[in-house]
Amino acid sequence: MTNRILSAAVLTLLATIATVTASGRDGWTSAQLDELRSMSLEELEALPRDPTNRVADDPRAADLGRRLFFDTRLSSNGRVACSTCHQPDRAFQDGTALATGVGTTARRTMPIMGMARSPFLFWDGRKDSLWAQALGPLESPVEHGGTRAQYAHMVADSYARDYEQVFGALPDLSRVPRSAGPVADPEAASAWNELSSAQRDDVTRVFVNIGKAIAAYERRIEFGTSRFDKYVAALASGEPRQSILTDDEVAGLRLFIGRANCTQCHNGPLFTSNEFHNTGVAPRPELAMDHGRLTGARAVLSDEFNCRSQWSDAHARCSELEFIVTGEHTLDRAYKVPSLRNVAERAPYMDAGQFATLAEVLDHYNRAPAAATGHSELRPLRLKPVELRQLEAFLRTLSGPIPLSERASARRTQ
C-alpha cells in the first residue's frame, strides 16, 4: 500500500516535471506559446460582414471593383488609378514616403491587406468603411483629382451593363455636366452647386457605388502564410522547427513579445490592435502640422459617407461611432497601428514615411524621443545593438505571399 502511494507520488512528480519542461519547447513557457498562437494567421477569424455595404460579398461587385481599381480614367489627368499607389506587385503600396497622384499628398500610402477588418481607415481613422475610404482619394485634389460627376459619367459610358447588374438602373445623367462635385476646384464646385438636390443625389449614388464595388474587391485582399506562422504551427505539432526560424529570429521573437513591448500595439493575427497611438515620430517640417487621430476622430463623425449616413446600407446601430473616443489629449498626433505582416516589404515607414529602414524604426523605439505635440507613449527600451538586429530579423519572418495580388498582376500582364 505504502509502495503504491509512493509510486503514485513519483509518477505525479515526473508528470509535473514533464509538463514544465515540455512547456519550454524552444524555451517557450505555455503562456508564451498561447501568445504566439494568438498571433498566428490560423487564428484569424472569418471576414466579418460589412453591414454598410450590401454588395460587399457579391462576386460581380468585386469583379467590377477590381477593374475600377486599375482604371486610370478615374482621375483628372487620366493617369492615376487606385493601383498607382496601391501596387499589387509591391504589397499594395508604392515604396515612397509621400504618395503621389496628380499631386503629392502629406501621407504615406497604406497597404490594403486585411483592411476590411479595421474599424477605421486611413492613418487618422477619418473613415469607417472600406468604401467610404475609397471615395476620399477620388476627390482629393492631390490624389485622383477628379469629380464625382466625372466618375459617374465614366461608369455610365464604360461600365453600364456591369454596374446595372449589381446596383440596378443608372440615373439619367444627360443634364449633368462632365465635371462637378463638392471639391476644391472652384469651377467644378460651382457646377455642383447649380445642380438640383435630386441630381446631386443621383450622381452621389453612382459615386458611392463605385466605392462599394472597389471595397468588394479590396476586402478579399488578405495576408498569406509567413515563416512565423509555419514556426508556430510546427511548435504546436511538435515537428522539427529549427529549419523554419534561425536562433536570431527566435531571439527577436522573444524580445518582441517580451522586453521590447511590441505586442502592446502589434498583437493578434494581424499584428495590430487597429487603435491609434502617439509614438513621438517627428512630423515632416515641410508639411502643415498634422494632429492625426485628434482630427480624424472628429472627421469620421461628420463624414458624408459614414455608417450613419444616408449612403450606408447599415440598418443597425453604428457602434464604432457610438462609442468612439474623441477630444482626448492622447489622440493628438496619434496614428493608426499598422499591421506588421509583410512589413519588411514596404519601406519607408510611419505616417509620412519618416524612416527609410526597419533599423531606423527600431532605433526610434529604442530611444523613444519626446513628441513634437501631444505625448509619446513610448519609453526607452534600452536594447543592445545585437537585440535590435534580432528584432529586425524576426520582423523579416512576417512576410508572406499576398494571394490576390498575384492573380491581379497575372491578369494585368495577360
Partner 1 sequence: MRDQRIDKSMIQRIVLTLATLTVAITMTACSHAMMMVHGTGAKRPAASEFGLGPRSSAHGRYVATLESAKPLHPRQMQTVRVTVRDADGRAIDEAQISVDGGMPQHGHGLPTRPRVTRNLGDGMYEIEGVRFNMGGWWEFKLAIAGPGGADTVTFNLNL
Residues that bind partner 1 (CB under 8 A): 2-3, 6-7, 9-10, 13-14, 16-17, 20-21, 24, 29, 31, 35, 38, 119, 258-259, 261, 263-265, 267-268, 273-275, 319-320, 322-325, 330, 377, 379
Residue closer to partner 1 by CB (options 275, 332) is 275
- Residue 77 CB burial class (10 angstroms; 0-12, 13-18, ≥19): exposed
Q: For residues 13 and 26, give the distance between their C-alpha atoms in angstroms, rounded to a whole number.
A: 22
Residue closer to partner 1 by CB (options 131, 271) is 271
Q: For residues 9 and 3, give the distance between their C-alpha atoms in angstroms, rounded to a whole number.
A: 10
Using an 8 Å Cβ cutoff, are 156 and 141 in contact? Answer: no
Residue closer to partner 1 by CB (options 19, 243) is 19
Q: How far is the CB of 376 from partner 1 (least distance, A)?
A: 12
Q: How far is the CB of 172 from partner 1 (least distance, A)?
A: 41
Count Cβ neighbours within 10 Å for each residue of 298-320 and write b for 16 or more, e otherwise: bbbeebebbbbbebbbbeeebee
Q: How far is the CB of 124 from partner 1 (least distance, A)?
A: 15
Using an 8 Å Cβ cutoff, are 275 and 118 in contact? Answer: no
Residue closer to partner 1 by CB (options 48, 59) is 48
Residue closer to partner 1 by CB (options 63, 275) is 275
Residue closer to partner 1 by CB (options 38, 354) is 38
Q: How far is the CB of 352 from partner 1 (least distance, A)?
A: 24
Q: How far is the CB of 220 from partner 1 (least distance, A)?
A: 21
Q: How far is the CB of 256 from partner 1 (least distance, A)?
A: 13
Q: How far is the CB of 61 from partner 1 (least distance, A)?
A: 26
Q: How far is the CB of 338 from partner 1 (least distance, A)?
A: 14
Residue closer to partner 1 by CB (options 31, 287) is 31
Residue closer to partner 1 by CB (options 314, 347) is 314
